Chain A
Amino acid sequence: MALLTVSGLGVTIGTLSPLDDVSFEAHKGEILGLVGESGSGKSLTAMAVMGLLGRIGGRVSSGSILFDGQELVGLRDSSYRRLRGKRIALISQNPMTSLDPIVRIGAQIDQVSLLHLRLSKPAAKARSIDLMQQLRIPDAETLHRAYPHQLSGGMKQRIVIAMALAADPDLIIADEPTTALDVTIQAQIIQIMVDLVRARDLALILITHDMGVVAQACNRVVVLYAGRVAETNTTQAIFASPCHPYTASLIGCIPSRDQAEGTLLGIPGTVPGVLNYPKGCRFHPRCGDAMQVCARTVPPTTAQPTGSVACHLHEVVT
Chain B
Amino acid sequence: MLLFTVKRLLMLIPVFLAISVVIFMLVHLVPGDPIDNIIRVGATPAEKAALVARYGLDQPIWAQYVNWFSKMVQGDLGDAIILRRPVADLIAQNLPHSLALGSLALVFSTVVGITAGAIAAIYRDTWFDRGVMTVILLGSTVPSFWLALLMILLFAVTLGWFPVSGARTASALVLPVLTIGLGGVALVARVTRVAMMDIARRDFVMMLHAKGVSRWRIELGSVLRHAMMPVVTILSLRIGWILGGAVAVEFVFARPGLGSLLITSLNQRDYPVVQGCLLMLAIAVMLGTLLGDIVQAIMDPRIREGMK
Contacts and interface: CB of A to CB of B under 8 A. Distances in A.
Query: Touching in the complex, A and B, CB below 8 A?
Result: yes
Interface residues of A, number: 30
B212 A116 contact: yes
A291 interface: no
B213 A97 contact: no
Interface stretch (B40-48, B52-60, B295-303): B295-303
Nearest to A80: B212
The winner among B209, B215, B225 for most chain A CB atoms within 10 A is B209
The winner among A86, A92, A116 for most chain B CB atoms within 10 A is A92
B210 A89 contact: yes
A102 interface: yes
B210 A115 contact: no
Contacts of A115: 211-213
A97 B209 CA distance: 14
Interface string A17-56: 0000000000000000000000000000000001010010
Nearest to B304: A147
Contacts of B300: 101-102
Contact of B301 (A55, A102, A116, A160): A102
Contacts of A116: 212
A115 B204 CA distance: 17
B203 interface: yes
A97 B204 contact: yes
A52 B206 contact: yes
Contacts of B213: 81, 85, 111, 115
Nearest to B211: A85
Contact of A84 (B210, B299, B302): B210
A220 B300 CA distance: 44
Contacts of B208: 100
B307 interface: yes
A98 interface: yes
A171 interface: no
A86 B212 CA distance: 7
Nearest to A52: B209
Interface residues of B, number: 21
A272 B74 CA distance: 73
B207 to A, nearest CB: 5
A101 to B, nearest CB: 6
A200 interface: no
A84 B211 contact: yes
B168 interface: no
Which applies to chain B's interface (DSSP): helix, strand, loop or mixed?
helix
Given A55-B206, A97-B203, A97-B204, A85 B212 contact: yes
B204 A85 contact: no
Contacts, number: 69
Nearest to B225: A102
A100 B210 contact: no
B7 interface: no
A149 interface: yes
The winner among B206, B213, B215, B307 for most chain A CB atoms within 10 A is B206
Contacts of B206: 52, 55, 92
Interface in B183-227: 202-204, 206-215, 222, 225-226
B207 A101 contact: no
Interface in A107-162: 111-112, 115-116, 147, 149, 160
Interface in B258-305: 299-302
Contacts of B301: 101-102, 147, 149
A234 B218 CA distance: 40
Contacts of A86: 212
Contact of B207 (A77, A90, A102, A147): A90
B222 A85 contact: no
A92 B225 contact: no
Given A101-B300, A102-B301, A147-B301, A92 B211 contact: no
B226 A94 contact: no
Contact of B209 (A83, A84, A89, A99): A84
B302 A94 contact: no
Which 4 residue pairs across A and B have the least CB separation, nearest first?
A85-B212, A90-B210, A84-B212, A85-B211
19 contacts: A81-B213, A84-B209, A84-B210, A84-B211, A84-B212, A85-B212, A89-B210, A90-B207, A94-B203, A98-B203, A98-B204, A98-B207, A99-B204, A100-B222, A101-B302, A102-B225, A115-B212, A115-B213, A149-B307
Given A85-B211, A149-B307, 16 more contacts: A52-B209, A52-B210, A81-B212, A81-B214, A85-B213, A86-B212, A89-B211, A90-B210, A92-B203, A97-B203, A99-B204, A101-B204, A102-B225, A112-B211, A115-B211, A147-B301
